[in-house]
Amino acid sequence: MALALDGVRILDFTHVQSGPTCTQLLAWLGADVIKVEKPGSGDITRQQLRDVPGADSLYFTMLNHNKRSITLDTKSEQGKQILERLVRHCDVLVENFAPGVLDRMGFTWGRIQEINPRMIVASVKGFGPGPYEECKVYENVAQCAGGAASTTGFDDGPPLVTGAQIGDSGTGLHLALGIVAALYQRVATGRGQKVLAAMQDGVLNLCRVKLRDQQRLARTAVLTEYPQYPHGRFGSAVPRAANASGGGQPGTIVKCKGWERDPNAYLYFIAQAPVWKEICHVIGREQWLTDPNFATPEARLPRLKEVFEAVEAWTVTKTKFEAMAILNEHDIPCGPILSMEGLAHDPALRATGTIVEVDHPKRGPYLSVGNPIKLSASATKVRRSPLLGEHTDEILAELGYAAADLDSLRAAKVI
Ligand code: CAO
């Protein structure tokens, strides 16, 4: 089967997490991704958090599937010449270096346009233009600077970062969309362009409901669906909402049977207004249907704590899966708290390729998250990540280098 991005060549200058997530997605969609790495060491994550001595870490292998690896010292003169050929050969250059690195290598936007006017140059940076544009940024810096941390956690605790890598993987996703759009625009214009996804912007985009709440708070001084209502205090900034729902339907996390021993014996429960009758029936509070304090969503808002206590008095008598089955019979939305241990063995996720087992020559079989985006006419087959420099000779041959050239480049430590 032909793939959606067949024929698109990506010059992948990415490292760590944010950039690699972007180019991995493009590879899964069919692009030929050529990952350029420093000779001898490569992407720093190959060695970070290693669990098998001598083998590329899971950090690296899970972010670099379906790519080819070439080693190249891009600071040497010969390395720069090879890089120039790669710029000519490829459609998109993706990078997430610290600001200024590509310019210092001699590959400014102007120079790249001279070499290949069709080239799209896509960058992840920590911040967009402004006071912080020169800063180096990692995941949690972005979560803090993009508004996520100030709105995550409990009212009486410090700001919290989340386990979802919204700064790195989230920005990688944003960048991938920008690249695909630029490729589409190039069909009409014949020219490349620069694509920038700043991590602060990406996180803020994912936190847009909190900017919504900021403006509601400024107008009304209160957020009625937040746990601070009605007894707590609101300041001038959106507070941390604990496990309150970010939408118009109140929700929270409640305990289920076994919570004393199992840290994940919990369920997210949504008190959705259209199924209030069913909720009262299931938890045995039919009297609330006619009680003016509980009969309408507005009347319930100041009493949500009482509502969720009653829900929890019911859920602690059931496992999270029993509760989920009963609630879904009544169309009551809920979500069991699933652990990574459980997800790793979920047969439905295995069947769809969202969880895949991949074999690796040095580490053996391991699990990975496959392509979460499913195209009906472009099916993804996940291939293992490349070893450092595994495709150097193959790629240089495609660029027109002869075997003798490779020997001298290797002797000079250019590759
Ligand atoms: N050959 C020779 N040199 C190479 C090379 C190659 N193939 N690949 C990279 N280098 C060099 C660069 O030229 C650069 O050298 P100079 O600083 O002398 O110009 C150097 O390696 C390091 O690049 P860097 O500054 O990007 O790397 P770092 O480890 O110091 O910083 C990071 C890492 C992630 C903080 C920084 O790259 C960054 O802020 N990136 C943008 C934001 C981002 O993506 N953050 C998320 C990372 S994932 O958590």
Both 92 and 180 in one domain: the answer is yes
Q: Which domain holds residue 323?
A: 250-332
From first CA to last CA, the distance across the chain in angstroms is 34
Is 38 close to ligand 1, i.e. is its CB under 6 Å away? yes
Is 125 close to ligand 1, i.e. is its CB under 6 Å away? yes
Is 413 close to ligand 1, i.e. is its CB under 6 Å away? no
Closest Cα to atom 18, ligand 1: which residue?
101
Beta-ladder partners of 255: 266
Both 165 and 18 in one domain: the answer is yes
Long-range pairs of 53-57 with CB within 8 A, sequence gap ≥ 24: 54/362, 55/360, 55/362, 55/363, 56/360, 56/362, 56/363, 56/385, 56/387, 56/388
Both 69 and 170 in one domain: the answer is yes
Both 81 and 161 in one domain: the answer is yes
Q: How many domains does the chain have?
A: 2
Both 280 and 316 in one domain: the answer is yes
- Tens digits of pLDDT across the chain (415 residues): 799 999 999 999 999 999 999 999 999 999 999 999 999 999 999 999 999 999 999 999 999 999 999 999 999 999 999 999 999 999 999 999 998 999 999 999 999 999 999 999 999 999 999 999 999 999 999 999 999 999 999 999 999 999 999 999 999 999 999 999 999 999 999 999 999 999 999 999 999 999 999 999 999 999 999 999 999 999 999 999 999 987 889 999 999 999 999 999 999 999 999 999 999 999 999 999 999 999 999 999 999 999 999 999 999 999 999 999 999 999 999 999 999 999 999 999 999 999 999 999 999 999 999 999 999 999 999 999 999 999 999 999 999 999 999 999 999 999 9
Closest Cα to atom 38, ligand 1: which residue?
98
In a domain, 217, yes or no: no
The pTM score is 0.96
Q: Which of 44, 73, 95, 97 to mutate to test the pocket of ligand 1 (most atoms within 8 A of CB)?
A: 97
Per-residue confidence (pLDDT) for residue 248, from 0 to 100: 82
Per-residue confidence (pLDDT) for residue 1, from 0 to 100: 72
> Which residues are the active-site residues?
168
Is 392 close to ligand 1, i.e. is its CB under 6 Å away? no
Is 198 close to ligand 1, i.e. is its CB under 6 Å away? no
In a domain, 228, yes or no: no
CATH number, domain of 283, equals 3.30.1540.10
Per-residue confidence (pLDDT) for residue 67, from 0 to 100: 98
In a domain, 242, yes or no: no
Both 269 and 369 in one domain: the answer is no
- Is residue 347 reached through a cis peptide bond, with omega within 30 degrees of 0 on the bond before it? no
Tokens representing residue 239 in the block = 């507070």
Both 126 and 77 in one domain: the answer is yes
Ligand 1 mean position to 358 CA, how many Å?
29
In a domain, 145, yes or no: yes
Nearest to 244 by CA among 214, 210, 217: 210
Tokens representing residue 80 in the block = 């720069």
Tokens representing residue 227 in the block = 């746990």
Closest Cα to atom 15, ligand 1: which residue?
101
Per-residue confidence (pLDDT) for residue 246, from 0 to 100: 78
Both 168 and 32 in one domain: the answer is yes
Of 277, 298, 332, the last residue of a domain is 332
Non-local CB neighbours of 234 within 8 Å, separated by 6+ positions: 217, 221, 222, 223, 226, 228
Closest Cα to atom 31, ligand 1: which residue?
98
- What count of other Cβ atoms lies within 10 Å of the Cβ of residue 296? 11
Ordered DSSP codes for 63-76: T-TTEEEEE--TTS
Query: What phi and psi, each to the nearest 5 degrees, are found at residue 204?
Result: -60, -40
Ordered DSSP codes for 349-378: HHHHTSEEEE--TTT--EEEE--SS-BTTB
Residue whose token pair is 């790249």:
112
Both 302 and 353 in one domain: the answer is no
